[in-house]
Amino acid sequence: MVAGMRYVLLVQYDGTHFSGFQRQKNGRTVQSVLEEGAAEIFGAPTRVAASGRTDAGVHAAGQVCHLDGETSTPPEKLRERFNGLLPPDVRVLKSAEAPEGFDCTRGAKKKTYCYRFYTAESEMPLLERYAVRIKTAPDLAAMRAAARLVEGEHDFKAFCASGSSAKTSVRTVYEAEICKTGKTLFDLYEIRVTGNGFLYNMVRILAGELVSIGCGKGIENLQAAFRTGERALLAKTMPAKGLVLEHVDYGVPLFGAPREE
């Protein structure tokens, strides 16, 4: 690992053509692409860590990464160096010197994910890359009522796909909200979930269950899933393309004072 200053990056990527964030022996990953750029900038192999792994096909609007290295480039200008080397489906939006003792993986306090789906008579080419089409307009009131049951601290064992290495399945969901935007040819829905951490496929399983409830399924299976931890009680896992990691909160500003809207 390269010694020197620790930097923090705000990274955005389209996950369509990536096999997830984490480096793999086979497959294009976001980590490998970032590390290739970092090696060019720092002149040595450089590990890039992230707030958490995103799966194949999942996007990120605001992934947070850190890396260590030595360069004469000012921290806030590191963004430009990276973007001159990265492929077009990955961009560093901001860069800065990391706070003392900062670790982007261990230090994350809250994460916000958004799952998007839409209803339309046929597939919409300008939506299909980042949202999933369903045929039936869901009952928003039913979905929102179910989302309230998800909020708080629970054992989310039933919301975890096999293959998870998590030590505990207890998580806290601070907020689960569902928004609808009506357009002429389609209605776009967003399921936005904020929590202290998420299990493998948790948000996609939750989205699938909320959509199923909106389409007529009762809440009994959701309630039973919390009691029993049985994955089979819940709906299918929604496709990866509808999921975006929107924001990671560390309790302190990482890139200066937030800009006023």
Q: Catalytic amino acids?
A: 55
Residue length of the chain: 261
Residues 6+ apart with CB under 8 A from 123: 133
Looking only at the bridges linking them, the beta strands covering 49-50 and 59-69 are antiparallel
The CA distance from 56 to 61, in Å, is 15
Tell me how far CA of residue 210 lies from CA of 115, 117, 119, in angstroms. 11, 12, 15
The CA distance from 23 to 53, in Å, is 10
Helix and strand tally (H, E) in the chain? 5, 10
The CA distance from 122 to 136, in Å, is 12
Task: Give the closest residue to 44 by CA, choosing from 5, 64, 70, 75.
Answer: 70
Tell me how far CA of residue 45 lies from CA of 33, 67, 98, 102, in angstroms. 12, 11, 19, 21
